[in-house]
Structure 1
Amino acid sequence: MSNPSTEIRPSILLPRQPVPALDLPLTNGERFVLGAQPGEQFDLLVFYRGLHCPLCAKYLIELERLAPEFASRGVNVVAISSDTEERAQEMAKKVSASGVRFAYGLPLKAAREWGLYISESRGKTSIGIEEPAMFSEPAVYIVRPDGTLYYGAVQTMPFARPGFADLVAAIDFAVAKDYPARGEYTGAV
């Protein structure tokens, strides 16, 4: 067990506050720079564990299926991992990506700034792919065009992630009702 005084814990991002910078290569040869060309309504950032994760592939296939729904609502979608270019290309191919852009090479320090949990390798997964030595666990963030956090869901495990159909409906509601980001209070309780 590590010494509690030297432990490094994930950051907590606050709604209505600026999110950390992101500038990562994409599998299509371009770069994803958060805020450079934001979606009309939001950017949807889906952090996934990597090619080794069969649940990630299933989740990203659903994201790809619904990518046109997000696009029609003014939402840019990007899937992000700390995988290498080769592994990210393979995941993009596995999910037949055309509407979802795949960013790769997320430094673990940046993952921690985004509040992501970090795991160490346990060897090969159930699909026979070796886990990286260390990788980040999943998260889904919705970021406003001004670079502030609107929604966040951070996980310690690959199970029970937010459903993308639910997020489409939530975006419809939020835009129609001008619903504010919630959870921003940091005062005494």
Structure 2
Amino acid sequence: MKVWHIDSSSRDEQSHSRRITQQFIENLSKKTTVESNPLNVAAGLPFLTDIMIGSYFTPDEQRTTEQKSAISVSNDIVKSAKNADVWVIGVPIYNFSMPASFKAFIDLLCRSKETFTYTETGPIGLLENKKVFVVVTSGGTEIGSDIDFLTPWLKHCLSFIGVQNVHFIHADKYSPEKDNVITQQIEEMTSNLAK
């Protein structure tokens, strides 16, 4: 099973979302063979620029060397998205939404004619048959509350590129007492995934 393991927390050893995504991968690995492809978006991703956007809408054979270089990271992200069967994503809520690095990641992932396409009846996502598991951590923001601007946005973005099978692991309003519940969620999800 090819798993794309995406972390976005700005913290390292202290990060709850990183610990929980790693727990998910390790639990799944006990049940089936896992080929994990890690991506730490917090390490730094390029923000969209004029040359990148221009390159997106230029046929590959007509792109300049500069244009090809400008979208190389985006190309790698799109390739990883297409190749993986399962995505495991860790996203902390910072100031009621996602980290800036994760927004940059989504901007590099959502590509016309690569992960979605426009038709006469509207856009259609091209990344079907993906299973996505999202660990959402927060200190005080409750998932689904009026101040949660992350999960509705992420659901929409994933649906836009064709990803409908999305499961959230709730580590919101986190405290250590929640670890047993989180472990149970992971056990159920990985057991179903490995069937």
TM-score if structure 1 supplies the norm length?
A: 0.30
Select the structure that is richer in helix: 2
TM-score if structure 2 supplies the norm length?
A: 0.29
Higher relative contact order (Cα pairs below 8 Å, separated by 6+ residues): 1
Instruction: Determine which structure has more spread, i.e. the larger CA radius of gyration.
Output: 2
